[in-house]
Amino acid sequence: MADSTVVFITGVGKGIGRGLLEVYLLRPNYTVIGSIRDKHAPIANELKQLPKAEGTKLIIVSIEATSATDVPKAMDDLAAAGIDHVDIAIPNSGFTPTPGPLDTADVSEVIKAININAVGPIYLYKGLLPLLEKSKKSPKWAAMSTGAASITRVEPHSAHNVLAYGMSKAGQNFFTQAIHSAHPWIISFAMHPGLVQTEMGNLGARMMGLEQAPDTIEDSVNKVIAVIDGATRENTSGKFLNTIDGTEFPW
């Protein structure tokens, strides 16, 4: 694995995660690690059939975001597969409860969202840190966030209608910034991938009065990967970026 670029993406079964997986698999000499809840589920076989470039391979691991034991088990699987480093980590998987008025928010769904969206990436980080340390490049932690996590823009985004999602992703944003602060050798940043035509994105778009989300998965994924490709410690790390238009979101 020493000469291969190794990318780890969580939540590759559908949506943006799957889009990212498909694009990275078409790059030569990549090792792409994708997580789903159960690597023995039928979706795993479907993912393994995706087209791949020369010298590129796919490894599927099982990670349920709230599990304290899944990430260590996945790391054991990677060690058995000969993975000795990771260059890019993309915490992408997430949970979005049904939006609605603030006064009807379901506290149990807020707790679930925090466990998946904010705590889950901490488990992932603790497992991947030794592999990121062994990268011969500048390792990158590229967290998939959302404009709804911007505390400054809660009112203009009407993000009070997605309390659980916004609060939990704001927590993830803090952790992303904490990685940047704690590890000067990691390029750590948060990304808003647009209002994307996924199940979650279309739900949010309808809440805003739109028929569907304006950004296609293909366009979002291409812009997300372009940001990751060009990310540097000086110009990108510690920032919250709108990948669609290249601007920076306030935290």
Q: Which residues are catalytic?
A: 165, 169
H/E stretch holding 47 reads helix 42-48
Phi, psi dihedrals of residue 187, rounded to the nearest 5° = -90, 105
The answer to whether the CB of 161 falls within 8 A of the CB of 170 is no
Instruction: Give the Cα separation of 105 and 213 in Å (integer).
Output: 23
Q: How many CB atoms lie within 10 A of CB 107?
A: 9
Residue linked to tokens 């488990």: 123
**d(Cα 19, Cα 22) in Å, to the nearest integer?**
5
- For the purposes of burial, counting CB atoms within 10 Å of the CB of 113, is it exposed (0-12), middle (13-18) or buried (19 or more)? buried
User: Could you please report the per-residue DSSP string of 113-170?
Assistant: HIIIIIIHHHHHHHHHHHHHHT-SS--EEEEE--GGG-GGGHHHHTGGGGHHHHHHHH
Q: What does DSSP say about strands 5-10 and 30-36: parallel, antiparallel, or unpaired?
A: parallel
65 close to 93: Cβ distance less than 8 angstroms: yes
